[in-house]
Amino acid sequence: RRASEVVTQNDQCRSELQQHTKSGQDHKLKTHNTIAMKQKRWEELQLEALTAGGLRERMLEDSAEKVLELGKCQMAIGNLYDRARARSKVKQPYTTDPDEQLKVLQDFVMDLSFIVAKGKHSQQTKDAPKPS
């Protein structure tokens, strides 16, 4: 009878050990899976951050290029405006507003265009044969 109890107790201990071993293996496997998923997500986030960083750099470069182009345009407008004011008989008050400068330039060019057209017309009437 004592041998039977020992065998039963041994079987129970073996069964508990197997359950604990299996439980430990399951826990270890779940932990490894969790670590692998988190590592994969971390790598995805790193790639997203790298992509976003590259996009940010391109946007900054584009922005800097556009600001440079705007500055060049404003400088050109300013230079043309100064020349137009210097040569125009119509005195305009000085302004730094590009829209106002463009309006002054437009008026100046239209005046020159009118003068050229009038000059061509008078030249054509001079060169036209006179009826006898």
CB 95 within 8 A of CB 74: no
- The C-alpha torsion from 59 through 61 and 66 to 68, rounded to 10°, is 160
Secondary structure letter of residue 131 according to DSSP? P
How many C-beta neighbours within 10 Å does residue 40 have?
A: 10
Report the b/e string of 91-108 with b at 16+ CB within 10 A: eeeeeeeeeebeebbeeb
pTM of this structure:
0.57
- pLDDT per residue, tens digit, the chain (132 aa), is 788 989 999 999 999 999 999 999 999 999 999 999 999 999 999 999 999 999 999 999 999 999 999 999 999 999 999 999 998 888 888 999 999 999 999 999 999 999 999 988 887 777 766 665
CB 107 within 8 A of CB 119: no
- The C-alpha torsion from 74 through 75 and 78 to 82, rounded to 10°, is -170
How many C-beta neighbours within 10 Å does residue 81 have?
A: 22
User: What is d(CA 28, CA 107) in angstroms, rounded to the nearest whole number?
Assistant: 83
Specify burial of residue 77 (Cβ count, 10 A radius: 0-12, 13-18, 19+): middle
For the record, the structure tokens of 101 come out as: 């400068």
